[in-house]
Each structure stands twice: as structure tokens, then as C-alpha cells.
Structure 1
Amino acid sequence: MTNETTAKLPIAPLLTLAAATFMSITIEMLPTGLMHLMAPDLQVTESQIGLLMSVFAFAVVVTSTPLMMLLRHVPKRILLVSVLTLFAVSTILTAVAPTYTLVLLSRILNGIAHGVFWASVTSYTGTLVRPEQLTKAVSITGGGGGLAFVLGVPLGTALGQLLDWRATFVVLAVICLAVAVLLWFVLPKGVGDGPAPATAAVELPSPQAIGDVQAMTNSIPVQRRPQKSMGLVVALCVLVLVMMTGHYSFYSYISPYLLGPVGVSELWLPIVLFAYGVAAAIATALTGTLFTGRMSTGFYVAFALFLLGGGSLALLAGFPILAGLGIILWGFGMGFLPTLLQSRLLAVAPSKHRDLASAIYTSSFNFGIGAGALVGAVVLDQFGMGALGVTFLALTVVGILINLAVDLRSVRKSRSGTV
């Protein structure tokens, strides 16, 4: 049965969609690796380059839902190809923009296209496969985003050092255009033009969350399942917002931090970023194996890795080996966390409100990316590079306290028999 299902998967369209998600996340995160090259060329501070991440993420949050409502009758094949083409064109505009203001505007256009693409790709994937194939299909298409953290950002950083940051954006834009053309020829005509099948948008993993979150949730014993309520969904999304804000307040500026306080050479920078990405990918792949039926334990393991990894970077920057170990531990923590968050969302969201819960979750995740880069910019300008790690640790502690409060509430509800 498994072999038959696998054989009938539309591999070529799924892999092409995975390539598209790879390009979109790589280009989104590229300023983190090229910040030290972009800032002097544009004659701005590194914190202003970090704000390019903020405007990108805020553009996704503000425009994706209304645009999807406006464009809901456009055939998905045409929509996906169009927005990916717009994404590539706006990336070229970033590369040729002579001023920071124009770069900023091009990144807003980037974010608008990115939001529509990610909002469309899940429902479209659901039209390509049978319901029992959905998890496997989504793991393929969403896997491109996770791979971007492993290979895309480090390779983009290395390319920027070999050429320059503008040439890197052009190269990636050209590849993105090639993927858009490939989508036009590979995606089947007419598929997805009607109403989308009943697949909850929550089944799309967030970037880096490439795991069978449904299987993890289904493995929780019935008597231990969290109470389903939108209140718990909101609490979880607050946790997502705080953790992503903390993470991106530091990670958005990781390149200048590694080159500055840690003392990593430019030659080693892509290698260190690659090590972080590999650690995150390994952790993501192991999340289901390690924490199926032990979701709560997984959260505290991830939090501990955040504190140990971030603490090593923040407090031991003068010891490059320990700081390097710290970024690897941080990568493991970030690899575990999104899949765990996604699994908990499936567990606590009422079935009739899953799409709404997913929309809130996705907005929280993206808002956290933008808020994190913004918070990091303010901290960097006001207190210097060394304060970034302290901010990250403080927000991580806040996230742990929120998670403890949610866990305690769930325990009380369980004991009172209301689960």
C-alpha cells in the first residue's frame, strides 16, 4: 500500500514547488548573511539592514489575507507562477536599487509576493494529491523552506563574499525566475481551479517545521490531550510571537555579531551558518522520533537549548569555540521548536476553527520575525552589539514563563475533568 501511494505521488510538481519554497525563504533571509556587505555599500547602519527583514515580514502579515480574498478566483497555477515571477522581479529591483529607500520599497514588494505564494501553496498541494498523501506531499513542498536554512543562507553568504551582495541577489532572482518558468510547464493545467479541498491550512509547516505534526498529535493518549479552545490557541500564538521575536532579534544580526564580538573570519562565516542550519535540520528530522507522546518535554528541551546556545553566544563571545558550540545548540533548539509549536496547535485548535487558528498562528510567526528584527535594530542602535544576546535570553525566559502558565492551566483543567 505504501509503495503504491508513493508511486502515485506527483513527484515533479511537488519537487518544483519545493524548489520555489526554497528560493522564497532563501531570498527572505538573505540579508542576515549579507548584512556586513550591504550596510557599507548603501551607507546605512547594520540595524537599518535588519529592518529590511521587518518590512518584509510585516508586508506578509498585513497583505496576505486580503490579497488572498481578492485573488481567490484566480487559477492557482497562474497565481503561483505570477507571484513567484513578481518575487523574482522585486529581488532584481533590490539588487539594482541605488538607495536604501528603494531597497526598502523593493523588499515590501518582495514580502507581498511571498505572502500570497505561501498562502496559496498549501491548498494547491492539497489539490495535487489524495487526502492520505497530504502529509507526505506537504513535507516535500514545505521541506524546501527548511532546506533554505541549511543551504540557502550559507550558500548565499558565500556567494556574496565571492562576488558582491548585488550580484548575489541577481543570481538568486534569475534562479527564481527559472523555477517560475518550470512551474508553468510542470504544474498540471486546470488542477486547483475549483474550490480547495477540505485541508486545514494548519497542515502547512512553518519554515523549518518539516515534520509529521499530525502524527505527533495523534499519538497523544486521549486522556492527556490538551483541552481544545481558541483561548489556548491565542495563548500559544502569544508564545510563538514572543519566541520568534526573541529569536530574530538576535539571528537577524548574527553575521555582524559573529564577525564582530565572536571574531569569526569572513571565510568561516558561511561554514558557521551552515553548521547552524545542519543542526536545525537534524533536530527537525528527529522531533517526531524523540518527542512523540512527550510534546511537553520537547518544549523544555528546546528552551534549554535556546538558553545554553544563546547564553554561550551572549556571554562567551570572547571564546570562539564555545560560541561556535553555542550556535549549534541554538540551531538544535530552533529545529525542534517550530514542529512542536505546530503539533500543539493541532492539539488545541477546535476542528471547526482550524483555518482561523492557522491564520492567527501564521500571522504571529511572521509578525515575530518582523518584530524581532525591529527590536534587534533598536537594541543595536541604543546599546550595541553585545546587548543582542541579552535581549534574546530575556525574551526566551518570558516565553518559558508563558509556556509554564499554559501547562499549569492545562493540568488544572485535566484534574477538574474538563479536558
Structure 2
Amino acid sequence: MSTRDPNLLLDPPSDRRRDRLPMAALLALSTAVFLTSLTETLPAGVLPAMSGDLGVGESAMGQSVTVYAIGSALTAIPLTAATAGVPRKRLLLAAMAGFALANTVTAVSSHYPLTMVARLLAGVAAGLAWALLAGYARQMAPVHLQGKAIAVAMAGIPVALSLGVPAGTFVGDALGWRAAFLLMTGLTVILLGWIAVSVPEYAGRRGGEREPMLRALAVPGVASVLSVTLVFVLAHTVLYTYVATFLDHVDMADSTDLVLLTFGAASLLSIWVVGVRIHRQLRALTVASVLLVALAAALLAVVSDRAALVYVAAALWGLGWGGVPTLLQTAVGDAGGDFADSAQAMLVTLWNVAMAAGGVVGGVLLGVIGAQAFPWSVLVLMVPVLLIVVVARAHGFPVRRATH
């Protein structure tokens, strides 16, 4: 269900009239997802160089990842409400331009406080963009292709996690960490032109009318999807953030890149499967995702002394996780109905809260129990996720999706 009157389309894409996906526009959105996801975690790959240049410890520099997530989490909801009346394309261009500016400041800054402010502002811009992107993808597609459209737009996440971070680290090692951030700026400038040419314009709400954000929580199904988002992303982030530490614990430190590549390739396959089947099987795919991630965690917990099974676990993890952003964005959009924009903004907020919390929770687990705790924690967290998905059969993760 669209959250806006279809007559508010200002620049209708011809592909929609031909009942096809507007791939050029969707790939532009996917690139925005890729760049914002990559920039969030990029400091992790160049941490020693950043901390050395800025004269702070690696622990302090590591907070540049946290402050980015905090920027997105704190501002996605209020900014989405405040900009409800702004035309969507204009707003997306403004968000990505602000993102490019913040990355440029990060690249040239020689002062730690200024760098942290720039990282915070980059998170703010990314949070606003993220709150727009899934809804934008839905609007550009006919109803029966909306799930596939979101899958295309969200494909940037696993690409950034599995391929982008190693590539950014390589650029940082070869040319310096500042070059890596300037590369993000350059790619974003190219993206701005791409968006301007290929992405259609949609009007904001008439008269700048704002959605009462918290009313979305009262819509049946929204709270269920948001709860699953918080716990599922927390579980994933605890393991992903410390995957190198865990692999070192099982004497596979030299294989971290190959394990992540396995995870990434399986994630891309997962996105394809979800995109093809989500229109009629959202609930079954969500249950399967939870079970696959749980099975991967169980394998890592009990047979991590066998390298071959670690790779199997990484593949299962990727198969389970890759389609999750698409599934959750689609589920919350379906459940939110007339309040879908508000629900999407809350999902973005909780996603970033979970990412920030994952690093903290993982750090506590590492200090108190050790690296062996990571897969067990994922396994434990998957239990409430599965229960919520199973119970929310009428709303949230319904047996049948609405087709109109």
C-alpha cells in the first residue's frame, strides 16, 4: 500500500507503465545503500592509520563507527517527520550531498573532535536517506514487484559488508585512509548525477503534513516487525563485528577474508531468492532466514575446530542474513500502511541502535566470557526472533501478503 496519493507522482517512470522494474533508478538507490553502509564500517579497516594521524588511541578512534550509528539512530525519526512535505527526490539529493560533504571533512580533518562531528553528520545524512530508500523503491514498482524492487535497492548492504570493506581497506593501505574517504566522496558525487537523471520525483505530503510517528506503533504488526529488527540485527552485529576475533580464536585468522567472501557470496544468492519469492512467501522466507542463521551459529558454537564446517556456517549465515533487510523493510512497509514512512523511520532507528549496541554487547562478552560466547549469543537471541515471527501470523509476518 502506498503512503501517498499516486497522483502525487511528479515524474512517472515509463518502465512502470510497461509493468517492469526501473532498474537504472533502483540500482542508483542500491548504490546509495552501498555507500552509506560501507562508510559506516570503513574506519574499522583503517583504524590504526586514522588513530595515528589524529593522535588518539584505537579505542577512541573506534568510536567513529559508533557515533555514525548514533547520528542515524537519533535523527531518522525527527528528520523524516520534519521533511514529510519535501519532494522525495530533492530530499534524497540533499541527504546524499550532505553525506558527501561530511566524508570530505573526514578525509581532510586533522583534528579528532572535527572528525567525530563529521562522522556524526554523515550518520545523520545516511539515516535520512535510509528512511527514504525502501519506500522509494516500493513506489517505483507495481505491487507484485515491490518486494523485488526493495531487494534490488537493499543489495548494497551485503556487497558493502563482504566486498566493500576489504576494498576500502586495500585503498587505505595503498593510498592512505584519507584517500579511502575521498573515494567515497567521489563516488557519491557521481551518484548524485545518476539520481538526478534516472530517479523519478514524488511529491511529499500535501501541505507538509507530518505523520504522528508513534501512532505507527499502534498499527497491528508494526511492533512485531520492529522487535524482530532490533533483536535480529543485534545478534548479527555481535558476531559480524567480532568475526575476525572469533576466527583468531579458532586458529583461522589468516582466512578472515575468505570466510567473509563466502558469507558475501551466499548473501547475494539470498537476496536473489528473496527478490524472486517475497511477493508470496514473505513469512516462509523470514522463518527460513531465522533458522539458517541459528543453524550457522550452532555450527560455529560446537564444531568450529573444523575449518570446512566454518565455511559451511559462513555460507548458511549469508543465506540467512542476505535477504533480511529486504524482508524487514517489506514487512514493516506492508504493516505500516498509511503510516509506512513512520514505520520505516523507526526501523532505521532501531537498526542503528542494534548496530551500536552490538559492538558494546560483543565487547562485554569478549571481556567476560571470551570469543567462544559470540555464536552462543546469536543462538540465544534467535529464539525470541523465531517466536515473534511465528506468532505474528496475522499481522507483521502474515500468511498471505496483500496484493493490492
TM class, shorter-length: 0.7 to 0.9
Q: Distance in 2 between matches of 1:128 and 1:290?
A: 19
2:57 is matched with 44
Deviation at 1:332, TM superposition (A): 1.0
Contact 1:264 1:320 in 2 (8 A): no
Task: Select the residue among 261, 275, 284 that pairs with 1:274.
Answer: 261
Contact persistence 2:244–2:253 (CA under 8 A): no
**Please, which of 5, 22, 27 is the counterpart of residue 34 of structure 2?**
22
The answer on whether the counterparts of 1:51 and 1:377 sit within 8 Å (CA) in structure 2 is no
Contact 1:32-1:251 within 8 A present in 2 as well: no
Query: Partners in 1 of 2:379 and 2:112 — Cα distance?
Result: 31
| Aligned counterpart, 1:312 | 299
Counterpart-to-counterpart distance in 1, 2:148 and 2:279: 18
Which of residues 164, 174, 192 is equivalent to 2:202? 192
Instruction: Give the drift of 1:327.
Output: 1.7
AA paired with 1:70?
A
Q: CA RMSD in A?
A: 4.1
Rounded Cα–Cα distance in structure 1 between residues aligned with 2:22 and 2:224? 38
Shift of 1:136: 6.0
By how many angstroms is 1:260 displaced? Answer: 5.4
Preserved CA contact (<8 Å) 2:229 2:328:
yes
Structure 2 residue 167 is the aligned partner of structure 1 residue 155 = yes
Letter in 2 for 1:323: V
1:242 equivalent to 2:231? Answer: yes
What does 1:229-378 align with in structure 2 at a 5 Å threshold?
Answer: 230-259=219-248, 261-265=250-254, 268-287=255-274, 295-342=282-329, 344-345=331-332, 349=335, 351-378=337-364
1:313 is displaced (CA, Å) by 3.3
Deviation at residue 25 of structure 1 after TM alignment: 1.9
Is the CA contact 1:53–1:369 (under 8 Å) kept in the aligned structure 2? no
The TM-score with structure 2 as length reference comes to: 0.74
Partner of residue 118 from structure 2, selected from 106, 114, 119: 106
**Deviation, structure 1 residue 112:** 0.3
Structure 1 alignment gaps of length 5 or more: 202-227, 415-419
2:223 partner amino acid: V
| TM-score normalised to structure 1 length | 0.72
Return the offset for 1:389: 3.1
Deviation at 1:55, TM superposition (A): 2.6
- 1:158-207 Cα offsets, whole Å, 9 max, x none, are 434444444322322322233224444x2579x435648xxxx9xxxxxx
Contact 1:5 1:133 in 2 (8 A): no
**Which residue does 1:390 correspond to in 2?**
376
Residue identity matched to 2:165: V
**Total equivalences in the alignment:** 374
- Match of residue 55, structure 1, among 62, 67, 78: 67
Task: After TM superposition, give the deviation of residue 286 of structure 1 in Å.
Answer: 1.3
Shift of 1:115: 1.3
CA distance in 2, matches of 1:405, 1:367: 24
Counterpart amino acid of residue 236 in structure 1: V
- Unaligned stretches of 5+ in structure 2? 1-13, 212-216, 400-404
Report if aligned partners of 1:95, 1:167 keep a CA contact under 8 Å in 2: yes
- Once the two structures are superposed, residues 197-256 of structure 1 have per-residue CA deviations (whole angstroms, 9 ceiling, x without a partner) of xxxx9xxxxxxxxxxxxxxxxxxxxxxxxxx97354213321221111111122122234
Quick one: distance in 2 between partners of 1:381 and 1:45? 17
CA contact (8 A) 1:90 1:106 kept: yes
Tell me how far apart the structure 2 counterparts of residues 355 and 194 of structure 1 sit (CA, whole Å). Answer: 11
- CA gap of 1:284–1:111, structure 2 versus 1, over 3 A, is same
Instruction: Check the 8 A contact 2:154/2:325 in 1, yes or no.
Output: no
1:117-156 matches, cutoff 5 A: 117-122=129-134, 138-156=150-168
| Cα pair distance change 1:380/1:169, threshold 3 Å | farther
Contact 2:103 2:182 in 1 (8 A): yes
* Distance change in 2, residues 1:312/1:9 (3 Å): closer
Is the contact between residue 242 and residue 399 of structure 1 (CA under 8 Å) also seen in structure 2? yes
Please state how far the C-alpha of 1:10 moved relative to its aligned partner. Answer: 5.6
Q: Return the letter of the residue paired with 1:332.
A: L
